[in-house]
Protein backbone atom coordinates (compact mmCIF):
# COMPACT_ATOMS: atom_id res chain seq x y z
CA UNK A 1 0.00 0.00 0.00
CA UNK A 2 1.22 3.50 -0.84
CA UNK A 3 2.68 5.73 1.87
CA UNK A 4 -0.24 8.14 1.32
CA UNK A 5 -2.70 5.58 2.69
CA UNK A 6 -0.44 3.72 5.11
CA UNK A 7 -2.83 4.30 8.05
CA UNK A 8 -5.58 2.41 6.23
CA UNK A 9 -4.19 -1.13 6.37
CA UNK A 10 -7.11 -2.29 8.54
CA UNK A 11 -9.72 -0.20 6.79
CA UNK A 12 -12.68 -2.08 5.21
CA UNK A 13 -11.65 -0.59 1.85
CA UNK A 14 -7.95 -1.49 2.21
CA UNK A 15 -8.02 -3.96 -0.71
CA UNK A 16 -9.50 -1.24 -2.95
CA UNK A 17 -6.90 1.22 -1.66
CA UNK A 18 -4.21 -1.22 -2.78
CA UNK A 19 -5.80 -1.55 -6.20
CA UNK A 20 -6.04 2.21 -6.65
CA UNK A 21 -2.47 2.85 -5.57
CA UNK A 22 -1.18 0.11 -7.84
CA UNK A 23 -3.30 1.45 -10.71
CA UNK A 24 -5.44 -1.66 -11.04
CA UNK A 25 -8.84 -1.49 -12.71
CA UNK A 26 -11.76 -1.60 -10.26
CA UNK A 27 -14.53 -4.18 -10.56
CA UNK A 28 -18.31 -3.76 -10.33
CA UNK A 29 -18.16 -5.09 -6.77
CA UNK A 30 -15.44 -2.57 -5.83
CA UNK A 31 -17.52 0.30 -7.18
CA UNK A 32 -20.62 -0.81 -5.27
CA UNK A 33 -18.58 -1.02 -2.05
CA UNK A 34 -17.21 2.48 -2.62
CA UNK A 35 -20.74 3.83 -3.10
CA UNK A 36 -21.96 2.03 0.02
CA UNK A 37 -18.99 2.94 2.20
CA UNK A 38 -19.82 5.33 5.06
CA UNK A 39 -16.26 6.69 4.85
CA UNK A 40 -16.75 9.56 2.44
CA UNK A 41 -13.38 11.07 3.24
CA UNK A 42 -11.47 7.93 2.27
CA UNK A 43 -13.48 7.53 -0.95
CA UNK A 44 -12.72 11.17 -1.75
CA UNK A 45 -9.04 10.81 -0.89
CA UNK A 46 -8.76 7.79 -3.20
CA UNK A 47 -10.42 9.68 -6.05
CA UNK A 48 -8.17 12.66 -5.44
CA UNK A 49 -5.14 10.38 -5.48
CA UNK A 50 -6.21 8.92 -8.83
CA UNK A 51 -6.89 12.40 -10.25
CA UNK A 52 -3.41 13.54 -9.28
CA UNK A 53 -1.80 10.38 -10.65
CA UNK A 54 -3.59 10.77 -13.97
CA UNK A 55 -2.75 14.46 -14.27
CA UNK A 56 0.94 14.10 -13.38
CA UNK A 57 2.98 16.28 -11.05
CA UNK A 58 2.87 19.46 -13.14
CA UNK A 59 -0.91 19.43 -13.59
CA UNK A 60 -1.94 17.75 -10.33
CA UNK A 61 -3.59 20.90 -8.97
CA UNK A 62 -5.14 22.11 -12.22
CA UNK A 63 -8.89 22.63 -12.53
CA UNK A 64 -10.11 23.48 -16.01
CA UNK A 65 -12.88 25.77 -17.18
CA UNK A 66 -13.83 27.28 -20.52
CA UNK A 67 -15.47 30.42 -21.86
CA UNK A 68 -18.66 29.19 -23.44
CA UNK A 69 -22.34 29.82 -23.92
CA UNK A 70 -25.43 27.69 -24.31
CA UNK A 71 -27.84 27.96 -27.22
CA UNK A 72 -31.16 26.12 -27.18
CA UNK A 73 -32.84 26.69 -30.54
CA UNK A 74 -36.08 24.90 -29.57
CA UNK A 75 -37.75 23.55 -26.45
CA UNK A 76 -40.47 21.76 -28.41
CA UNK A 77 -40.04 18.01 -28.08
CA UNK A 78 -42.01 15.04 -29.32
CA UNK A 79 -40.92 13.08 -26.24
CA UNK A 80 -42.31 13.48 -22.74
CA UNK A 81 -39.61 12.19 -20.39
CA UNK A 82 -41.09 12.60 -16.91
CA UNK A 83 -38.02 14.25 -15.38
CA UNK A 84 -37.82 16.94 -18.07
CA UNK A 85 -39.34 20.33 -17.37
CA UNK A 86 -37.36 22.01 -20.15
CA UNK A 87 -39.37 20.49 -22.96
CA UNK A 88 -42.68 20.01 -21.20
CA UNK A 89 -44.20 23.45 -21.59
CA UNK A 90 -47.62 22.13 -20.63
CA UNK A 91 -46.31 21.36 -17.15
CA UNK A 92 -44.23 24.48 -16.60
CA UNK A 93 -46.70 26.93 -18.10
CA UNK A 94 -44.05 28.18 -20.53
CA UNK A 95 -44.88 28.18 -24.20
CA UNK A 96 -42.77 26.26 -26.66
CA UNK A 97 -40.52 28.10 -29.10
CA UNK A 98 -38.47 27.40 -32.19
CA UNK A 99 -35.84 29.88 -33.35
CA UNK A 100 -35.18 30.77 -36.96
CA UNK A 101 -31.60 30.48 -38.18
CA UNK A 102 -31.34 34.28 -37.92
CA UNK A 103 -32.47 34.19 -34.31
CA UNK A 104 -29.85 31.56 -33.50
CA UNK A 105 -27.19 33.82 -35.06
CA UNK A 106 -28.48 36.82 -33.14
CA UNK A 107 -28.38 34.96 -29.81
CA UNK A 108 -24.92 33.54 -30.57
CA UNK A 109 -23.65 37.01 -31.40
CA UNK A 110 -24.39 38.24 -27.87
CA UNK A 111 -21.97 35.71 -26.41
CA UNK A 112 -19.40 35.85 -29.18
CA UNK A 113 -19.07 39.62 -28.77
CA UNK A 114 -18.19 38.97 -25.14
CA UNK A 115 -15.50 36.50 -26.07
CA UNK A 116 -16.99 33.00 -25.85
CA UNK A 117 -14.94 30.35 -27.61
CA UNK A 118 -17.49 27.54 -27.53
CA UNK A 119 -21.19 27.29 -28.31
CA UNK A 120 -22.89 24.38 -26.58
CA UNK A 121 -26.08 23.82 -28.56
CA UNK A 122 -28.81 21.31 -27.73
CA UNK A 123 -32.57 21.30 -28.08
CA UNK A 124 -35.77 19.29 -28.06
CA UNK A 125 -36.75 16.72 -30.67
CA UNK A 126 -38.65 18.94 -33.05
CA UNK A 127 -39.67 17.86 -36.55
CA UNK A 128 -39.22 21.47 -37.66
CA UNK A 129 -35.57 21.26 -36.61
CA UNK A 130 -34.39 18.44 -38.83
CA UNK A 131 -30.94 17.80 -40.23
CA UNK A 132 -31.42 20.42 -42.96
CA UNK A 133 -32.20 23.03 -40.28
CA UNK A 134 -29.15 22.15 -38.18
CA UNK A 135 -26.86 22.01 -41.22
CA UNK A 136 -27.97 25.55 -42.06
CA UNK A 137 -27.63 26.68 -38.42
CA UNK A 138 -24.10 25.27 -38.16
CA UNK A 139 -22.95 26.57 -41.55
CA UNK A 140 -24.29 30.02 -40.68
CA UNK A 141 -22.65 30.02 -37.24
CA UNK A 142 -19.29 28.95 -38.68
CA UNK A 143 -19.55 31.54 -41.48
CA UNK A 144 -20.22 34.33 -38.97
CA UNK A 145 -17.98 33.10 -36.14
CA UNK A 146 -15.39 30.73 -37.63
CA UNK A 147 -13.21 30.78 -34.50
CA UNK A 148 -16.00 29.46 -32.24
CA UNK A 149 -16.13 25.71 -31.58
CA UNK A 150 -19.56 24.10 -32.02
CA UNK A 151 -20.19 21.45 -29.40
CA UNK A 152 -23.68 20.35 -30.29
CA UNK A 153 -26.27 17.60 -30.68
CA UNK A 154 -26.78 14.93 -28.08
CA UNK A 155 -26.91 11.30 -29.20
CA UNK A 156 -30.67 11.61 -28.69
CA UNK A 157 -30.90 14.36 -31.29
CA UNK A 158 -28.67 12.44 -33.69
CA UNK A 159 -30.90 9.37 -33.35
CA UNK A 160 -34.04 11.47 -33.90
CA UNK A 161 -32.69 13.40 -36.89
CA UNK A 162 -31.31 10.27 -38.52
CA UNK A 163 -34.63 8.45 -38.22
CA UNK A 164 -36.54 11.49 -39.45
CA UNK A 165 -34.34 11.75 -42.53
CA UNK A 166 -34.08 7.98 -43.08
CA UNK A 167 -30.28 8.03 -42.92
CA UNK A 168 -27.69 6.26 -40.77
CA UNK A 169 -26.13 7.81 -37.65
CA UNK A 170 -22.86 7.91 -39.54
CA UNK A 171 -24.36 9.79 -42.47
CA UNK A 172 -26.08 12.22 -40.13
CA UNK A 173 -22.86 12.90 -38.22
CA UNK A 174 -20.81 13.22 -41.41
CA UNK A 175 -23.20 15.86 -42.74
CA UNK A 176 -23.14 17.80 -39.47
CA UNK A 177 -19.35 17.60 -39.19
CA UNK A 178 -19.17 18.93 -42.74
CA UNK A 179 -21.44 21.79 -41.66
CA UNK A 180 -19.23 22.69 -38.69
CA UNK A 181 -19.94 20.32 -35.80
CA UNK A 182 -16.75 20.20 -33.71
CA UNK A 183 -17.67 17.84 -30.90
CA UNK A 184 -20.67 16.43 -29.06
CA UNK A 185 -21.89 17.00 -25.51
CA UNK A 186 -22.70 14.04 -23.28
CA UNK A 187 -26.40 14.61 -22.63
CA UNK A 188 -29.25 12.21 -23.13
CA UNK A 189 -27.59 9.21 -21.50
CA UNK A 190 -29.77 9.67 -18.38
CA UNK A 191 -29.46 6.31 -16.61
CA UNK A 192 -28.97 3.35 -18.91
CA UNK A 193 -31.00 0.98 -16.68
CA UNK A 194 -34.16 0.04 -18.55
CA UNK A 195 -36.33 -0.37 -15.44
CA UNK A 196 -35.66 3.24 -14.43
CA UNK A 197 -36.19 4.52 -17.96
CA UNK A 198 -39.51 2.73 -18.13
CA UNK A 199 -40.72 4.37 -14.90
CA UNK A 200 -39.57 7.76 -16.17
CA UNK A 201 -41.25 7.22 -19.59
CA UNK A 202 -37.94 7.54 -21.43
CA UNK A 203 -38.62 6.08 -24.86
CA UNK A 204 -35.65 7.66 -26.66
CA UNK A 205 -32.15 6.33 -27.25
CA UNK A 206 -31.60 3.18 -25.16
CA UNK A 207 -28.05 2.45 -24.01
CA UNK A 208 -26.92 0.49 -27.10
CA UNK A 209 -28.03 3.33 -29.39
CA UNK A 210 -26.52 6.10 -27.21
CA UNK A 211 -23.21 4.21 -27.12
CA UNK A 212 -23.32 3.42 -30.84
CA UNK A 213 -23.82 7.08 -31.76
CA UNK A 214 -20.87 8.13 -29.58
CA UNK A 215 -18.73 5.29 -30.92
CA UNK A 216 -19.57 6.41 -34.47
CA UNK A 217 -18.65 10.02 -33.62
CA UNK A 218 -15.32 8.81 -32.23
CA UNK A 219 -14.64 6.81 -35.39
CA UNK A 220 -15.32 9.95 -37.41
CA UNK A 221 -12.67 11.75 -35.38
CA UNK A 222 -14.64 14.00 -33.06
CA UNK A 223 -14.56 14.01 -29.27
CA UNK A 224 -17.64 13.63 -27.10
CA UNK A 225 -18.56 13.78 -23.42
CA UNK A 226 -20.70 11.47 -21.30
CA UNK A 227 -23.23 12.10 -18.54
CA UNK A 228 -25.27 10.24 -15.94
CA UNK A 229 -28.49 11.65 -14.49
CA UNK A 230 -29.28 10.83 -10.87
CA UNK A 231 -32.27 11.50 -8.65
CA UNK A 232 -34.71 9.71 -10.97
CA UNK A 233 -35.19 6.55 -8.94
CA UNK A 234 -31.91 4.80 -9.74
CA UNK A 235 -30.05 2.41 -7.43
CA UNK A 236 -26.33 2.29 -6.67
CA UNK A 237 -26.12 -0.79 -8.90
CA UNK A 238 -27.79 1.13 -11.76
CA UNK A 239 -25.17 3.88 -11.43
CA UNK A 240 -22.26 1.45 -11.36
CA UNK A 241 -23.57 -0.43 -14.40
CA UNK A 242 -23.94 2.89 -16.22
CA UNK A 243 -20.29 3.75 -15.51
CA UNK A 244 -19.13 0.30 -16.59
CA UNK A 245 -20.92 0.60 -19.95
CA UNK A 246 -19.20 3.95 -20.51
CA UNK A 247 -15.82 2.47 -19.58
CA UNK A 248 -16.36 -0.43 -21.97
CA UNK A 249 -17.28 1.93 -24.82
CA UNK A 250 -14.24 4.08 -24.09
CA UNK A 251 -12.03 0.98 -24.29
CA UNK A 252 -13.45 0.38 -27.78
CA UNK A 253 -13.63 3.85 -29.30
CA UNK A 254 -11.55 6.09 -27.04
CA UNK A 255 -13.13 9.46 -27.87
CA UNK A 256 -14.77 10.47 -24.59
CA UNK A 257 -13.07 13.46 -23.00
CA UNK A 258 -15.04 14.10 -19.87
CA UNK A 259 -17.66 12.51 -17.65
CA UNK A 260 -20.28 14.76 -16.05
CA UNK A 261 -22.52 13.48 -13.24
CA UNK A 262 -25.84 15.34 -13.31
CA UNK A 263 -28.69 15.58 -10.85
CA UNK A 264 -32.36 16.00 -11.62
CA UNK A 265 -34.20 19.13 -10.51
CA UNK A 266 -37.89 18.64 -9.98
CA UNK A 267 -39.68 21.95 -10.61
CA UNK A 268 -42.20 21.42 -13.36
CA UNK A 269 -42.07 17.63 -13.10
CA UNK A 270 -44.35 15.17 -11.30
CA UNK A 271 -41.69 12.79 -9.99
CA UNK A 272 -40.47 14.45 -6.78
CA UNK A 273 -42.70 12.36 -4.51
CA UNK A 274 -41.59 9.02 -5.92
CA UNK A 275 -37.81 9.42 -6.06
CA UNK A 276 -35.06 10.14 -3.56
CA UNK A 277 -33.30 13.42 -4.11
CA UNK A 278 -29.52 12.92 -4.02
CA UNK A 279 -27.81 14.39 -0.96
CA UNK A 280 -24.54 16.33 -1.11
CA UNK A 281 -22.82 13.13 -0.01
CA UNK A 282 -24.44 11.20 -2.89
CA UNK A 283 -23.29 13.83 -5.38
CA UNK A 284 -19.72 13.76 -4.09
CA UNK A 285 -19.74 9.96 -4.30
CA UNK A 286 -20.84 10.22 -7.95
CA UNK A 287 -17.82 12.42 -8.64
CA UNK A 288 -15.41 10.26 -6.65
CA UNK A 289 -16.58 6.82 -7.78
CA UNK A 290 -16.72 7.91 -11.42
CA UNK A 291 -13.11 9.16 -11.11
CA UNK A 292 -12.10 5.78 -9.75
CA UNK A 293 -14.10 3.57 -12.12
CA UNK A 294 -13.60 5.55 -15.32
CA UNK A 295 -9.85 5.01 -15.41
CA UNK A 296 -9.85 5.61 -19.18
CA UNK A 297 -11.54 9.04 -19.00
CA UNK A 298 -9.18 11.99 -18.71
CA UNK A 299 -11.56 14.38 -16.98
CA UNK A 300 -14.43 14.43 -14.47
CA UNK A 301 -16.53 17.56 -14.28
CA UNK A 302 -17.98 19.30 -11.22
CA UNK A 303 -20.86 20.97 -13.04
CA UNK A 304 -21.18 24.10 -10.93
CA UNK A 305 -24.63 25.06 -12.18
CA UNK A 306 -25.96 21.82 -10.70
CA UNK A 307 -23.73 21.30 -7.68
CA UNK A 308 -23.67 24.90 -6.57
CA UNK A 309 -20.46 26.79 -5.99
CA UNK A 310 -19.54 25.33 -2.59
CA UNK A 311 -20.10 21.69 -3.45
CA UNK A 312 -18.26 22.12 -6.77
CA UNK A 313 -15.28 23.48 -4.81
CA UNK A 314 -15.33 20.45 -2.51
CA UNK A 315 -15.66 18.15 -5.55
CA UNK A 316 -12.21 19.29 -6.72
CA UNK A 317 -10.85 17.29 -3.78
CA UNK A 318 -13.03 14.31 -4.76
CA UNK A 319 -11.58 13.68 -8.20
CA UNK A 320 -13.11 16.44 -10.34
CA UNK A 321 -10.72 18.49 -12.45
CA UNK A 322 -13.13 20.60 -14.49
CA UNK A 323 -15.76 23.14 -13.58
CA UNK A 324 -17.43 23.58 -16.97
CA UNK A 325 -17.91 26.97 -18.51
CA UNK A 326 -18.82 30.53 -17.85
CA UNK A 327 -22.32 30.51 -19.28
CA UNK A 328 -24.50 27.51 -18.84
CA UNK A 329 -28.12 28.46 -18.92
CA UNK A 330 -30.30 29.11 -21.88
CA UNK A 331 -31.79 32.12 -20.10
CA UNK A 332 -28.37 33.76 -20.15
CA UNK A 333 -28.44 33.85 -23.89
CA UNK A 334 -31.65 35.85 -23.61
CA UNK A 335 -30.02 38.50 -21.56
CA UNK A 336 -28.96 41.47 -23.62
CA UNK A 337 -25.41 42.48 -24.42
CA UNK A 338 -23.40 43.97 -21.59
CA UNK A 339 -25.96 42.96 -19.00
CA UNK A 340 -24.97 39.34 -19.51
CA UNK A 341 -22.33 38.70 -16.84
CA UNK A 342 -19.97 36.66 -19.00
CA UNK A 343 -16.73 38.38 -18.08
CA UNK A 344 -17.66 38.56 -14.43
CA UNK A 345 -18.58 34.87 -14.46
CA UNK A 346 -15.15 34.02 -15.84
CA UNK A 347 -13.50 35.93 -13.01
CA UNK A 348 -15.86 34.28 -10.55
CA UNK A 349 -14.98 30.80 -11.81
CA UNK A 350 -11.26 31.56 -11.48
CA UNK A 351 -11.88 32.84 -7.97
CA UNK A 352 -13.85 29.72 -7.01
CA UNK A 353 -11.12 27.42 -8.28
CA UNK A 354 -8.25 29.26 -6.65
CA UNK A 355 -10.07 29.85 -3.38
CA UNK A 356 -10.59 26.07 -3.19
CA UNK A 357 -6.81 25.67 -3.40
CA UNK A 358 -6.43 24.77 -7.07
CA UNK A 359 -4.94 26.39 -10.17
CA UNK A 360 -7.54 27.77 -12.61
CA UNK A 361 -6.74 26.74 -16.18
CA UNK A 362 -8.71 28.08 -19.11
CA UNK A 363 -9.08 25.46 -21.82
CA UNK A 364 -10.76 25.20 -25.18
CA UNK A 365 -13.42 22.57 -25.87
CA UNK A 366 -10.90 19.82 -26.59
CA UNK A 367 -8.68 20.63 -23.60
CA UNK A 368 -5.99 22.65 -25.31
CA UNK A 369 -4.63 24.90 -22.57
CA UNK A 370 -5.27 28.60 -23.22
CA UNK A 371 -4.18 30.16 -19.98
CA UNK A 372 -2.74 28.86 -16.72
CA UNK A 373 -3.71 31.03 -13.76
CA UNK A 374 -1.85 31.55 -10.52
CA UNK A 375 -1.83 28.76 -7.96
CA UNK A 376 -3.13 30.21 -4.67
CA UNK A 377 -0.42 30.94 -2.12
CA UNK A 378 -2.39 29.71 0.88
CA UNK A 379 -4.37 26.71 -0.29
CA UNK A 380 -7.33 26.24 2.08
CA UNK A 381 -8.27 22.96 3.70
CA UNK A 382 -11.51 21.69 2.21
CA UNK A 383 -12.36 19.58 5.24
CA UNK A 384 -14.27 22.41 6.91
CA UNK A 385 -16.38 23.02 3.81
CA UNK A 386 -17.00 19.29 3.48
CA UNK A 387 -18.15 18.99 7.08
CA UNK A 388 -20.48 21.94 6.64
CA UNK A 389 -22.01 20.37 3.54
CA UNK A 390 -22.38 16.76 4.56
CA UNK A 391 -22.24 17.00 8.34
CA UNK A 392 -19.41 16.01 10.65
CA UNK A 393 -19.05 12.37 11.56
S1 LIG B 1 -36.06 13.89 -25.17
FE2 LIG B 1 -34.84 15.39 -24.02
S3 LIG B 1 -35.84 17.37 -24.37
FE4 LIG B 1 -37.31 15.76 -24.97
S5 LIG B 1 -38.58 15.41 -23.14
FE6 LIG B 1 -36.88 13.91 -23.06
S7 LIG B 1 -35.26 14.92 -21.85
FE8 LIG B 1 -36.72 16.53 -22.48
**What is the per-residue DSSP string for 107-159?**
HHHHHHTTT--EEEE-----TTS-HHHHHHHHHHHHHH-TTSEEEE--HHHHH
Protein residue closest via CA to atom 1 of ligand 1: 79
- Find the 4 Cα to ligand 1 centroid distance in Å: 45
Test site for ligand 1: of 70, 124, 161, most ligand atoms within 8 A of the Cβ: 124
Test site for ligand 1: of 75, 87, 123, most ligand atoms within 8 A of the Cβ: 87
**Residue 257 near residue 224 (C-beta atoms within 8 A):** yes
- From residue 385, how far is each of 151, 172, 280, 355, 357 by CA, in Å? 33, 46, 12, 12, 12
Q: What is the pLDDT of residues 98-152, one digit of tens each?
A: 999 999 999 999 999 988 999 999 999 999 999 999 999 999 999 999 999 999 9
Weakest mean pLDDT among 151-165, 210-224, 268-282, 376-390 = 376-390
- Find the 79 Cα to ligand 1 centroid distance in Å: 6
Q: Work out the number of other CB atoms within 10 angstroms of the CB of residue 24.
A: 12
All domains of the chain in start order, with CATH? 45-390 (3.20.20.70)
Report which ligand 1 atom has the smallest distance to the Cα of 75.
Answer: 3
Average pLDDT for the chain: 90
Among candidates 258, 334, 335, which has minimal Cα distance to 294?
258
8-state DSSP, 301: B
Report which ligand 1 atom has the smallest distance to the Cα of 202.
Answer: 6
What's the chain's length in residues?
Answer: 393
Q: What is the pLDDT of residues 161-190, one digit of tens each?
A: 999 999 999 999 999 999 999 999 999 999
Rounded CA separation 160/171 (Å):
13
Rounded CA separation 283/280 (Å):
5
Among candidates 49, 55, 18, 35, which has minimal Cα distance to 284?
35
Rounded CA separation 387/166 (Å):
54
Q: What is the pLDDT of residues 329-381, one digit of tens each?
A: 534 223 222 233 444 478 889 999 999 999 999 999 999 999 999 888 766 55
- Find the 84 Cα to ligand 1 centroid distance in Å: 6
Q: What is the pLDDT of residues 289-344, one digit of tens each?
A: 999 999 999 999 999 888 888 999 999 999 999 998 885 453 422 322 223 344 44
Q: Which residues line ligand 1 (CB under 6 A)?
A: 77, 79-81, 84, 86-87, 124-125, 156, 204
Residues forming a β-bridge with 261:
228
Protein residue closest via CA to atom 6 of ligand 1: 81
Test site for ligand 1: of 85, 126, 156, 264, most ligand atoms within 8 A of the Cβ: 156
pTM of the model: 0.93
Q: What is the pLDDT of residues 49-58, one digit of tens each?
A: 999 999 999 9
Amino acid sequence: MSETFRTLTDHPLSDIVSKVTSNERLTREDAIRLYNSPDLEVVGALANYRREQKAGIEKAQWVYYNHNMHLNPTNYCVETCRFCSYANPGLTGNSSYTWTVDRVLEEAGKGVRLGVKEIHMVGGLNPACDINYYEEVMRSLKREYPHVHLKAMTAVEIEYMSNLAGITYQECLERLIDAGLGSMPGGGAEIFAEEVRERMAVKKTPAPVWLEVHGTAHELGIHTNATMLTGIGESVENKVDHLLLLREQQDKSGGFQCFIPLKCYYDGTTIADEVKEPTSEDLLKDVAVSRLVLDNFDHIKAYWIQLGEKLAQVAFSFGADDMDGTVMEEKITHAAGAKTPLQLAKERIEFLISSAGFTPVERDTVYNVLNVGQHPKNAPNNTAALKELVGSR
